[in-house]
Amino acid sequence: MKNFVFKDAEVVKAEINRLLTVHPDIAEDVELMADSIEGETGLYEILEKAMSARQEADMMVSAIKEREAALEARRKRYEAQSAAYKSLMLSLMQYAAQDKVTLVTATLSISKGRTSVEVENEDELPQGTYSTKRVPDKAAIKRIIEAGETIPGAYLKTSEDGLTIRTK
């Protein structure tokens, strides 16, 4: 059904073009044009089909997001379980004073701890010990440009028309 909707849409466009070619005067009367399009073309049927297909796609998106959330939770449980087993193996090897153990499935070795930096308070760090990220303030840029000023490297852009869909 989904692929046919796109093909049927082309047919409807051709029907609308034919209608406007045969009766060019209806383009001047919005109400007459709407009535003619509804009665003489399959526009409304195609819009219903497209709306139904869109709702089906939205349901699939929702279901997939739920499934992803469930799988993420499951993944996190297994990550925690894996970390717990690794910690258990380290603890047992340290208790047994074994730096290296060769098993049938793996070789386990205790490695020395590595030195890393922990930052307690970023605000106290002196200049030169941190980096800053340059992020454009788009709201401020828009206000400035709308006030008539130009900003090198930025301009206002109007997006394409959108479609609002209310189902309730």
User: What are the residue boundaries of the structural domains of the chain, listed by start?
Assistant: 2-110
pLDDT, mean over the chain: 93
The backbone torsions φ and ψ at residue 90, rounded to the nearest 5 degrees and listed phi first, read: -60, -45
Higher pLDDT, 83 or 161: 83
The pLDDT of residue 3 is above 80: no
Average pLDDT over residues 129-150: 93
pLDDT in tens, 28-84: 999 999 999 999 999 999 999 999 999 999 999 999 999 999 999 999 999 999 999
The pLDDT score that the predictor gives to residue 1 is 53
Average pLDDT over residues 130-135: 90
Average pLDDT over residues 85-106: 95
